[in-house]
Chains A and B, each alone.
Chain A
């Protein structure tokens, strides 16, 4: 294959992969401390996109403000999911199966609310044209938007990692992740930590959808794919590892784009999910995941 073509595909892959990385990080932020497979993340993702659309296009707010508002609202949605759906179940002593099923129920409700409110027509959010103008570099092209995507994703990774390592809240989240019982005993307000996790993860996923919307438009169906990619990235990277999820996300993006050269693009998804299934079978802890060790004397 031509070198320049290869490089272009690689770059496209990195750009798409950055978004996938962001998705993986957002999902890890929720799953790692709470161990809840938060399928509703898909609806938060889509809803955030529609919030953005409504604010920027429906009500004419400036785009940056709309983005901020959408991100915050998404965070709130995540928190509500925990307060309204998961927490009551947990207090009832419900198992993960009930949590999961409720998550599906919530997903269905939200998904159809979107259909009722905004119908199913594709929407777009307009941003300054200049951001989407291709910048030729040698034989390669990418847009300022692309660069922004990669930078944001990188910043998110760095930000989350620092947050987890340096801040009290972050360390509390890690404590809850590693040893929920011990965390409760040592006085960490685990419920509050959970709410934070949901807020953080949901806000991050709203950032991800922003890039998707301004680049490719908005439809109600984009949620499932997003949560699938997020899941794959999280598992392949190793549950609990943000760097791992990011790296896995990048790899998936690159693999998808380089893969188009050989494999018809409609099979991309299938390949990704086959990779997921293989990892679950043979290396459930992914690349950098922590070995689950729990000692019960």
Chain B
């Protein structure tokens, strides 16, 4: 089993809260252009792993290497500029802003977002602005949100909000996307849509790491599955291998 470590690798990652070892000695890698799923019972440490990888929690021990760069001390906003972006379980959308604004805010590298940019005469930033608007339109189209672009996010259905959060994620132009429970709260039809969306992204060159509880969806679309329990990896492999793993089955059936 010689998998490619060059894209993303986590080595002996550990994090404790007081006496509680949330993540213990976790090592795994994600191959470029794959869709990897992180599964496990509630409280297994999955979101903590995300928080550690994306810079929202300081690491107690271990290394995180993304495209040969050590991420351990980086701030979240710097990590984004390296090409990794994430969503949140609670979505964290900017509720009082429009769909358009939410997605637009995801776009990287805008000079005009500084305080000085407030006072620069508009023509100077015109070209940059047009390119950004074009990109936003593209993403909204891709996700089928074009009609709702002007709506305040707080007024949208959960399913649409989920799409907005993915739109925001895509806007960052990250190559490594982390999705935290993208399927939660969605109808079967929406989940099907989500599954093809995610596989579509992979076919366009993105690499995805996701957390979810929907086994059917996970097993259907993943190239690789990692199972976490009590902060430790207890199994990993292809979906078929995981489904055949007795321990995993036992954990999920609560025996």
Contacts and interface: CB of A to CB of B under 8 A. Distances in A.
B177 to A, nearest CB: 21
Interface in B46-94: 46-48
A187 interface: no
B17 A297 contact: no
B42 interface: yes
B18 A293 contact: yes
A224 to B, nearest CB: 34
A297 B18 contact: no
B174 interface: no
Interface in A240-297: 291, 293-297
Most chain-A Cβ atoms within 10 A of its Cβ — which of B18, B44, B46, B47? B18
B20 interface: yes
Chain B CB within 10 A, most for which of A293, A294, A295, A297: A297
Secondary structure type dominating chain B contacts: mixed
**What does DSSP make chain A's interface, helix, strand, loop or mixed?**
loop
B233 to A, nearest CB: 15
Contact of B43 (A291, A293, A294, A297): A297
Contact of B42 (A291, A293, A294, A297): A297
B47 A296 contact: yes
A294 B17 contact: yes
Contacts of A296: 47-48
B17 A295 contact: yes
Contacts of A291: 18
A202 to B, nearest CB: 32
A291 B22 CA distance: 16
Contacts of B182: none
Contacts of A297: 22, 42-48
A295 B47 contact: no
Interface string B28-45: 000000000000001111
A185 to B, nearest CB: 15
A293 B48 CA distance: 13
Nearest to B20: A295
Contacts of A294: 17
Interface in B1-42: 17-18, 20, 22, 42
Contact of A293 (B17, B45, B46): B17
A296 B49 CA distance: 11
Contacts of B17: 293-295
A293 B57 CA distance: 12
Nearest to A291: B18
A128 B48 CA distance: 63
A92 to B, nearest CB: 15
Contacts of B48: 295-297
A177 to B, nearest CB: 15
Nearest to A290: B18
Given A295-B22, A297-B43, A297-B48, 16 more contacts: A291-B18, A293-B17, A293-B18, A293-B20, A294-B17, A295-B20, A295-B43, A295-B48, A296-B47, A296-B48, A297-B22, A297-B42, A297-B44, A297-B45, A297-B46, A297-B47
Top 7 closest pairs, chain A to chain B, by CB: A297-B43, A293-B17, A293-B18, A295-B17, A295-B20, A295-B22, A297-B42
20 contacts: A291-B18, A293-B17, A293-B18, A293-B20, A294-B17, A295-B17, A295-B20, A295-B22, A295-B43, A295-B48, A296-B47, A296-B48, A297-B22, A297-B42, A297-B43, A297-B44, A297-B45, A297-B46, A297-B47, A297-B48
